[in-house]
Amino acid sequence: MSKRTKLLRKENSEAEKSLSEESSNIQTDIVVYIRNANISAYNQEVVRRDIIQMLLDGEKRGQSPVDVIGEDYKAFCDSVISEMPQLSAKQRILSSIRDILPAICALFGIWIVFSFISRLIGYEDWTHIPLTVFELMGGAVIVITANVIVVYITKYTFENKPKRLAAVLTALALLTAAAFLLIPNIVIISPHIAVAVAFVILVYIIYAVIDNSLD
């Protein structure tokens, strides 16, 4: 995230504190919704800033959030977002990659730490840490599930469709169970711990580069 985006996000967070409880609750839903918008992180904050100001100005006039932005919050957000520069197909792909890289860093970091401790306690060679099929599958399932939930929450912020999410998660759970039953749990690779750490650092660097390029 660029410095200008961080600064604007901080300013918006401070401005939100001046909103009434009703406006603040609606603003929270709006922020969640625009996080899935096809615009840059900076422009998301620009939209957020403009809506906060609209709500604050409305409160000064004694107007409710509905008076200011109407009853259909989703339609209002869509109309505002449509006026902003949209991400290209390439930027959208990079954005999707960027969003999963922190999870990959975290999961591989946890794998390194726990594998190191486990092998150290077991008096095994701790300089090389094995990665099994189940460990890789488990990490993939966690990343996919987390992204499904995030996309659902952001996309359907103003709608109540729990059955759709439940169906997707159930299908994912069944596929995962079948994979664990059918695929043998073999060691895929046993890299040197220094190589594993270097991989995590590299993934984070890639994340930072992509994140800055999208602003």
Q: What does the pLDDT read at residue 154?
A: 81
In this structure, the dihedral spanned by the alpha carbons of residues 123, 129, 133 and 136, taken in order and rounded to 10 degrees, is 130
Who's near 189: CB < 8 A, 6+ residues apart?
A: 130, 131
Q: What does the pLDDT read at residue 83?
A: 87
| Residue 49 zone, left/alpha/beta (φ > 0; ψ -120 to 50; rest) | alpha
Residue of 157, 163, 162 lying closest to 74 (CA atoms): 157
DSSP codes of every residue in 58-93: HHHTT--HHHHH-S-HHHHHHHHHHTSPPPPHHHHH
Q: What does the pLDDT read at residue 105?
A: 92
Rounded distance between C-alpha atoms, residue 203 and residue 152, angstroms? 26
Q: What does the pLDDT read at residue 161?
A: 66
Residue of 170, 109, 108 lying closest to 145 (CA atoms): 170
| pLDDT by 10s per residue, the chain, length 215 | 677 888 999 999 898 888 888 888 888 888 888 888 888 888 999 999 999 999 999 989 988 888 888 888 888 888 888 888 888 888 888 988 888 999 999 999 999 999 999 888 887 888 999 999 999 999 999 888 888 888 888 877 777 667 777 888 888 889 889 988 889 999 999 999 999 999 999 999 999 888 888 77
**DSSP reduced 3-state for 38:** coil
Q: What does the pLDDT read at residue 160?
A: 66
Q: What does the pLDDT read at residue 206?
A: 94
